[in-house]
Amino acid sequence: MWKRLDRFFEQAADRESADVPWSLVAAVLAINRLCAPGSELAVEQRWYPSTALGDLLAIEEGKINDTRLYRCLDRNETFDGNRADVSTMESILRMVERKYGKARRIWKMDRGIVSEENLQAIRNRGGQYLVGTPRSQMKRFEAE
């Protein structure tokens, strides 16, 4: 699976050379989102230095910083700017289905994209989801 993820990042991100291949920076961001989600600044200052990713991915010390992490995200601005994350879900679903086909997927999203409308769109496609819960709704779900 890791090799497929590697190839995906290489095809999507490595169109030009860089000190650290953009595919590796994207991998660091993806791994962080799965293990200990945090801001790009938190990744640089706390999370990344506490991992062995530099050694595992052969990234020279000091090459992962918040500027590089933000620039990596900018390299893939799939959607026009000035658009709330919550309004992009239908576009994301259609784009992924066009590119990779229809499948029963598990979607992972942060709080910024969660809305009942977006979750329903995923359910309508037979998908499942793991989402960040807005703090305002945490008490409601604690009882359950």
How do residues 79-132 score in pLDDT, each as one tens digit?
A: 555 555 656 788 888 888 888 888 888 888 777 777 888 889 899 989 998 887
Report the C-alpha dihedral over residues 7, 13, 18, 23, rounded to 10 degrees. Answer: -40
Task: Decide if pLDDT at 69 tops 80.
Answer: yes
What pLDDT is recorded for position 81?
A: 55
Residue 49: name the closest of 32, 74, 33, 71 by CA: 32
Residues 37 and 97 in one domain: no
> Which of 5-9, 62-66, 92-96, 105-109 has the lowest average pLDDT?
5-9
Task: Decide if pLDDT at 45 tops 90.
Answer: yes
Residues 71 and 24 in one domain: yes
Domain count, the chain: 2
Banded model confidence at residue 46, pLDDT cuts 50, 70, 90: very high
What range defines the domain where residue 123 resides?
85-143
Structure tokens at 58: 């052969």
- Residue 128: which residues within 8 A CB-CB, separation 6 or more? 104, 105, 106, 107, 122
**Mean pLDDT value across the chain:** 81
> Which of 40-44, 57-61, 100-104, 129-133 has the lowest average pLDDT?
129-133
What pLDDT is recorded for position 100?
A: 85
Residues 92 and 71 in one domain: no
What pLDDT is recorded for position 132?
A: 76
Residues 102 and 43 in one domain: no
**DSSP assignment string, 86-135:** GGSHHHHHHHHHHHH-----EEEE-GGG--HHHHHHHHHTT-EEEEPPPG
Q: ∠81-102-4 over CA atoms, to 5°? A: 80
Residue 92: name the closest of 75, 111, 109, 69 by CA: 109
* Cα(26)–Cα(12) distance, integer angstroms: 10
* Cα(144)–Cα(140) distance, integer angstroms: 8
Note the Cα 88 to chain centre separation in Å: 14
In-domain check, residue 56? yes
40-57 mean pLDDT: 93
* Cα(48)–Cα(68) distance, integer angstroms: 13
Residues 117 and 60 in one domain: no
